[in-house]
Structure 1
Amino acid sequence: MKRSALAASALTVAALAGLTACGGGDSETDAAGKPGTGATASKAEEVSPAERLAKLMITKADVGEYAVEEPSDEFVFAKSPDEVTLDKKVCAPLAYAMNQLPLGAPQADLTRVASKDGLNGGYTYVTLTTYEDGGAKSAMTGLSKAVASCGDGFTAKSKSGTSPYDSVTAEPTTKAGDESLAFKSTMTVLGTTHTLHSAAVRRDDVIAVYFSVDGRAIAESRPSDVKLAATVVEAQNAKLG
């Protein structure tokens, strides 16, 4: 099993435990019905939302000793926001942020997981999303509202099981991008408490969401409190501009 798979599987274990004109020569076709050369050149230069995120996402070259991998989807809590139900609807953005699901209605999203010491050092997940005009601001507003409204916890459910979060607390964060926020949450698994840290940064119409977890500690019923990897967060924020 890949190392990133273990982190995801541990959260699932926790859940199961109770937890798309017309015009001149630059248009699609010219007056004779032939492809316009201007349109061809323009299309060749277009970058899709997904391609844009791929260029913005950190790689191992950006974070030194950290490995950067594509997370396994074998043990995910949910594959889309539609698969998640909440006892408190306002808390939905929190559940999405902590389970690598996109906030709001993005054009594209992309997730990677970074680790330095493998199974012993915890994982920092990075999820990038890009939006049409106004969508990123709206998504950040919803997340901020959730942090302020869900202090006494909430419960998220999916086909994988149930994840009860005991508390949510805003945390100080270094200003980055156009707006940023951070929060921590706690959850109890088989009588053991785990603290999970998250942050979100918006730059124009792109949001980066960060989430840290010690999957091995959860699987082994050891208390955990893994902070976000500063090297990873700083490198990703720098790539956002």
Structure 2
Amino acid sequence: MKRSALPRAAVTVVTSALSLALLTGCGGSGSDDDKGAGAKASETAAAKALSGGELEKLIIATADVDGYKVAAADRSQQFASSKDDVKVVDEKCAPIAYVLTGFAPGDSAAYINRQATEVAAKPSASSTKSMEDMTEEELDEAMKGITDALGQTLTIVSLSSYEGDGAKKTLSSVSEAIAGCGGGFTATADGDTQKFTKVEKEKASGTGDESLAFAVTGDADGDKVVVHGEVVRHGSTVATYYSISLAAFSGDSDVAAYDIPAAVIKAQAAKLS
């Protein structure tokens, strides 16, 4: 996307894309600045499931990861109000769909999620002006700020806990979905339909007791958008990560390759160790 080719009328449209993700699930309750209690979440796969309150203390907060703001996912942007509302044509692909909507990939006892967004540069003085009042230089500066912001990556992080060997079974179901849904799948909720055309296995971070990663190609108003997911088991707790480049979502065909931010995975893994 070249700034010189973007008309003034498009500035507002592009700016609105900064707050959107392809699919975003509803967030859990609680403060985004809660700090971990040092609880051990990765002792055995058969450990007792953690409660929602325990997960809330273990999920990352802004103070845990430099360069990111962590907050509850915006309910106004959710694809579905609950996990039960998400319907997948091919049931074996459901675990991937759940990761992409911020819900637990398996039948969990409790879950919680957060949204981690790269911190944007501070707005310039010209950004407080209306477009009609901007000079060409000020408009160019504003567009540079928008382009920089569009380079950010938004990540949905979720934690879910399971009784017995539920966490291990959940990782197995995700593995089977990655292997069996290469040709894509379709998910619907509340009358909205999202089509994914490809699922590919990727190299995982290697954190936790076992981890799996994948890339999914989606169709967003005719444009192909690639998003990334990772599922990690820490004992009876499963952490999921879903990242999307805001530039890719806005339709920028020149967006550079990106992945789930290593800093976010590292920060969450540390709280679960």
TM-score range, shorter chain: 0.7 to 0.9
Residue pair 1:172, 1:182 contacting (<8 A) in 2 also: yes
Q: Secondary structure at the match of 1:74?
A: helix
1:130 maps to: 161
What displacement does 1:213 show? Answer: 1.1
What displacement does 1:5 show? Answer: 8.6
Residue pair 1:196, 1:213 contacting (<8 A) in 2 also: yes
1:44 maps to: none
2:20 maps to: 7
Aligned residue identity for 2:195:
P
Please show how residues 61-140 of structure 1 align to structure 2 within 5 Å: 61-118=63-120, 119-120=149-150, 121-140=152-171
1:200 maps to: 231
Residue pair 1:5, 1:72 contacting (<8 A) in 2 also: no
Question: How many residues are treated as equivalent by the alignment?
Answer: 203
Residue pair 2:73, 2:114 contacting (<8 A) in 1 also: yes
Q: Secondary structure at the match of 2:75?
A: coil
C-alpha distance in structure 2 between counterparts of 1:71 and 1:4, whole Å: 15
2:267 maps to: 235
In the alignment, structure 1 segments of 5+ residues that lack a partner are: 13-46
Residue pair 1:180, 1:202 contacting (<8 A) in 2 also: yes
1:29 maps to: none
2:194 maps to: 163
Residue pair 1:165, 1:188 contacting (<8 A) in 2 also: yes
Answer with 1 or 2: which has the greater Rg.
1
Normalising by structure 1, what TM-score?
0.78
Change beyond 3 A, Cα 1:187–1:4: closer
Aligned residue identity for 1:221:
G
What displacement does 1:48 show? Answer: 6.3
C-alpha distance in structure 1 between counterparts of 2:109 and 2:88, whole Å: 24
1:222 maps to: 252
Aligned residue identity for 2:61:
T
C-alpha distance in structure 2 between counterparts of 1:212 and 1:144, whole Å: 19
C-alpha distance in structure 2 between counterparts of 1:191 and 1:147, whole Å: 24
What displacement does 1:80 show? Answer: 2.0
> What do residues 152-178 of structure 1 show as CA deviations (whole Å, max 9, x unaligned)?
101111115111001000001232111
Q: Secondary structure at the match of 1:124?
A: strand
Residue pair 2:50, 2:162 contacting (<8 A) in 1 also: no
Percent identical? 34
What displacement does 1:72 show? Answer: 1.1
C-alpha distance in structure 1 between counterparts of 2:178 and 2:50, whole Å: 32
Aligned residue identity for 1:7:
L
In the alignment, structure 2 segments of 5+ residues that lack a partner are: 1-15, 25-48, 121-148
Q: Which has the higher contact order (CA 8 A, sep 6+)?
A: 2
C-alpha distance in structure 2 between counterparts of 1:4 and 1:180, whole Å: 31
Q: Secondary structure at the match of 2:241?
A: strand
RMSD of equivalent CA atoms: 2.2
C-alpha distance in structure 1 between counterparts of 2:100 and 2:267, whole Å: 20
Residue pair 1:192, 1:222 contacting (<8 A) in 2 also: no
Q: 2:58 aligns with which of 56, 66, 90?
A: 56
Change beyond 3 A, Cα 1:4–1:202: farther
Aligned residue identity for 1:203:
H
What displacement does 1:216 show? Answer: 5.5
Change beyond 3 A, Cα 1:239–1:48: closer
Instruction: Please state if 1:180 is matched with 2:208.
Output: no
Residue pair 2:226, 2:248 contacting (<8 A) in 1 also: no
Normalising by structure 2, what TM-score?
0.69
